[in-house]
Amino acid sequence: MEKLRGQNARPPNAAAAASLLQSCGRTGDLRRGRALHARLLLSGAAAASTFLANHLITMYSHCADAASAVSVFGAVPRPNLVSWTTLVSGLAQNSMHRDALAAFAAMRREGVTPTEFALSSAARAAAGLADARPGAQLHCVGVRLGFDTELFVASNLADMYSRCGLLCEACRVFDQMPHKDAVAWTAMIDGYAKNGSLQESVLAFRDMRRLGLVGADQHIFCTALSASGGLKDGWLGRSLHCCIIKAGFELETVVRNALLDMYAKSGDLENASRVAKIDPGGWNVVSGTSLIDGYIEIDRVEEALETYTELRRQGVEPNEFTFSSMIKGCAMQALLEQDWSHPQQEQIYKKLEELSERIKEEGYVPDTISSPVNLEDIAKERLLRYHSERIAVAFALISMPATKPIIVKKNLRICTDCHSALKLISKVESRDIIVRDNSRFHHFVRGRCSCGDYW
């Protein structure tokens, strides 16, 4: 490749150029791939050789430059079967799912009979769109061509059906496969989990293990851990943890996050905390948020706050899921209303006072009449101000980016006073606020609520 840089260097022959393009594609070296393409264009070899054009399409696809791959394909005077297959595969590989399906349809219109590889790539594109209509059409094409039971075609069809919520169809495709490899089993385990059939997902994972097909694949362990956490099956989770240690995946960030999430959902916060501490690189936002959420789910709010503080101390920037978990914690009854100590308590109280004054200017009048507490109106007004949903909203306003909507969940019906206050808060703060109470979602936007004040 270096020898080609000289101005008088001769361009490589087709076989050498193809080999160099493959190397650029494997390593993702787009700069050298483009340089070689330019050399081939100057020599006229690229325009004259469909063989080289196919290798260029592959190289650009592997380097995530789908636009250049399409451009090269468009310059081929008579694309052959390999050209079409390479294009469909490259577009699907780069998540250009609609373009991949359009290319597959154009291939058929041109009278080119697709290979099982092209069909598999098109099925992967339909799965990426979670669109059953083109997926079912592809299935019919596969049946007519006799490819529907081919391992990689059937695996992608099963994945497509499960992503579209058609689990029975996915099972039918899976059951008709004469041979099933790790990819096919993984597609079904993942499909069961995505569709809420957690028990079936776990059983399929056990079957896969009995067949000796669980190998060096992190994704399958993460899927099984997710199903285990959803079932709150601590025994299975610990068993999976042992398998992960044996496979050498325990320090992998994705697996570690899945482990922590599983323990947190299973209520085993001790093991969750241990997993969080095993990474020599420190915590990340996913592991920290999972641990916070686990503590809040079992009402251990103080530990959740300690975890949040530790997360910030380590320089980890919280995301919207972290804030959502913390808002849920703030919305629980035994927090600020009972002299709860929070690192931002002073700022939260200050924000509540500020909001109270601003919404009064917009016409807010505290609903002290409907309050059942036997106190003076001033004391009642103060109690109303510190209702849990308002505390949660105040915390969100001082903590979350201004572009993010605020989401609060509570297990009681929102009171009429808070409903009126939150409408005006959404107006004065120009912020979307969503409250999920025990009856419905309330979307407060610019001073109005989606319920129309009827709930």
Q: Is 409 helix (H, G, I), strand (E, B) or coil?
A: strand
Mean pLDDT of 251-269: 84
Summarize pLDDT for 70-113 with one digit per residue, the tens. Answer: 999 998 888 999 999 999 999 999 999 999 999 999 999 999 99
Tally Cβ neighbours within 10 Å of residue 371.
Answer: 17
Summarize pLDDT for 45-61 with one digit per residue, the tens. Answer: 666 678 888 999 999 99
Question: Average per-residue pLDDT in the chain?
Answer: 83
Mean pLDDT of 120-139: 91
Task: Give the tokens for residue 269.
Answer: 């916060």
Q: Higher pLDDT residue, 445 or 196? A: 445
pLDDT for residue 280: 59
Tally Cβ neighbours within 10 Å of residue 453.
Answer: 11
Q: Tell me the whole-structure pTM to 2 decimals.
A: 0.62
Task: Give the tokens for residue 434.
Answer: 């969503």
- Does 256 score more than 60 pLDDT? yes
- Does 44 score more than 90 pLDDT? no
Q: Higher pLDDT residue, 4 or 343? A: 343
Q: What does the alpha-carbon distance between residue 291 and residue 103 come to, in Å, rounded to a whole number?
A: 45
First-last CA distance in the chain: 71
Tokens 């809040």 label which residue? 296
> DSSP secondary-structure letter at 331?
T
Q: What does the alpha-carbon distance between residue 164 and residue 127 come to, in Å, rounded to a whole number?
A: 8
Paired with 442 in beta bridges are 435
- Does 277 score more than 90 pLDDT? no
Cβ neighbors of 344 (< 8 A, separation 6 or more) are 395, 398, 399
User: 406-409 and 433-436 as β-strands: parallel, antiparallel, unpaired?
Assistant: parallel
pLDDT for residue 339: 47
No. of helices (H) and no. of strands (E), the chain: 24, 4
pLDDT for residue 334: 43
Strand extents, DSSP E, 1-71 = none
pLDDT for residue 229: 82
List the single range of 11-15, 78-82, 93-97, 164-168 with lowest mean pLDDT. Answer: 11-15
Summarize pLDDT for 290-334 with one digit per residue, the tens. Answer: 888 888 777 677 778 788 888 888 888 888 778 777 766 665 544
pLDDT for residue 333: 43
Summarize pLDDT for 18-31 with one digit per residue, the tens. Answer: 888 888 989 989 99
Where are the alpha helices (H) located in 63-164, listed in sequence order? 66-74, 81-93, 97-109, 116-129, 132-145, 151-163
Mean pLDDT of 254-261: 85
- Does 344 score more than 80 pLDDT? no
Element (H, E) at 184: helix 182-194
User: Which range, 14-18, 114-118, 410-414, is most confident?
Assistant: 114-118
pLDDT band at 204 (very low <50, low <70, confident <90, very high): very high
- Does 235 score more than 80 pLDDT? yes
> CA torsion sign, 205 to 295 to 409 to 285?
negative
pLDDT for residue 154: 93
pLDDT for residue 374: 41
Picking from 411, 435, 406, the residue whose alpha carbon sits closest to that of residue 299 is 411
pLDDT for residue 332: 53
Paired with 448 in beta bridges are 445
List the single range of 152-161, 253-262, 278-287, 402-411 with lowest mean pLDDT. Answer: 278-287
pLDDT band at 368 (very low <50, low <70, confident <90, very high): low
